[in-house]
Structure 1
């Protein structure tokens, strides 16, 4: 059957390079739930046959192959793409996408496409896509690991932020009595409870804190028995104190040893210098004694051996 070249090209693009080569693949979840105003991360990975180099990556909404002129939320060859969609992947294996401050209009089916070097068919789109839904966050709730809201001092409790949507990798923020806590993540673990931990806990998927769950109230009651966490804390403090004392002693010993070593080196240097000076003085003295002996020897030789001319002069005077 004769087929139009344009139709053949479309079929190849839909099926993947060279007709669904198993070396080409994109993997992401089937669906993804995002709460309006929150930040979410869509996990994604891809593979391609060895020997190829990825030159372009694209994320697009509601299109089977992310082909032009489809508007893209991210395009590595276009720096003017939507800045709320942040590409966390690379051009090797990861294609993870982060959506910042989601809005209702972000609800869509997103697909990832990558293009490699080589002929025009070396490109692939994960046709399955990931369906993203956006909720208003009103169904977000706090669930507790304990049956009621009353916990004894020294006890522990784990609070979990849940939603009717099976949200994934969302930025969860926690609050106590309306004040933001430093802890983040879907679970909040509280241990060694004291009265300071009591209060109303809420969670939010919106960093602004305007859309929070219904409050969950924690009541901490006094325990007349011995608190295990208190004894553990005392043991920890004692161990830390001993370790600090040992470290200080070691440091003092090192300083003392270093000072003694410097002093010994200084004394040895002084002794060596003195020995050098003494050797030089002895050498100079020996040289002077040799010179004096030579001069004395020559002088004596002249006096004890008068020449014949003197004898002749004396003899003539006598006559």
Structure 2
């Protein structure tokens, strides 16, 4: 096999630093947004294309107590209170700007606050929006503003002016839709009625988001009140849906049950469904308590649950119901391709927001982590020196046996190791050229027609007998294929390198 030794050129690009002009800016619009609880909202910030982001994320200063360093903002998407509710979308606003959109789903009133965009370049320069977007999350509220001659005027409103105004809204009487009414821009219009009972309202574009009900002219109205409208729980655990209900005093409850809501499907008693056999327990009574317990929940159990009770004369269902999300734990790494000197953040995440600010336990190769900094659902790893292949997993403090099902393998390679291997490669190639030139000279002098095996010095460079560091590098290819390492992987090396691999122990006769 021929080997052409001309001029060997190897170019290694290592973190070329550049400068950014003062024209690079980050700007956001609008600066104030009002959104409805349980709905979703988009926040947008644009930045100049002269900025070349290595990391780009949204943050909120109200969360700084959760950060490792209050001066270094952390990605909102990694915060446990926003788990499963945050997504990013990048788009090109124009030829000179790009936009990163933050979408927050299932808004809670505690989401109210200021949000900003952060950009970190490859050279470590940071850019953030000079002004934050202020988000206010409001619940729907019903107020009875007049009571004249047994006619009641009700007002459905919010604490701030909604940024996305609905064209209409619905009123509900005793849980049943009444009629849509055009929106009055000032007060969301008013609803007048002379019929006693329980009333609630919803925005036209979010019919499953209701206000709390109010009782008009009566001590006991038809109602079902759930303590939580959305519940997130870990797979294989148990969950309770606390609930109370009421009805007119002249009524008598004859039957009650929970059912799993599916459009177009019969609303059967949950305890009689095969899917829930032996796993549901009604903890309530026929007076006021309607709490439900489900044991050993699975992801298939995710969905909406409603309570219904029947009297000798009527029936009532608590609409909308409780939405259950069942999740497992997953470990995510940021940044995904760390470089020397960077801090790697591992996040124990879920697909929904777990309640009660749970504590988290971290494991390294199956053993609890005790010597590395942790904060809430995050574990921080310093990458200042090479580490071996490590497996990290996480668990909740209340469920230490429920570890994240998929371990994440973290391997940190410093630039120094890559340079060392590159130097070895260059040395091997140069040595190969010298050996071949020397051999050709000997052939011309002695007119030798057969080749000789390569000497032991070259054999030391055979990848199959490389040091443990190189073996570790080979393992990286199976876990995380960074572009820089791939160029050094023997499986993807050029034909010249294959010649280098095949040379040892397999001498081939050279024909004249």
Which structure's residues are more often helix, by fraction?
Answer: 1
Higher relative contact order (CA 8 A, sep 6+): 1
Determine which structure has more spread, i.e. the larger CA radius of gyration.
1
TM-score scaled by structure 1? 0.38
TM-score scaled by structure 2? 0.25
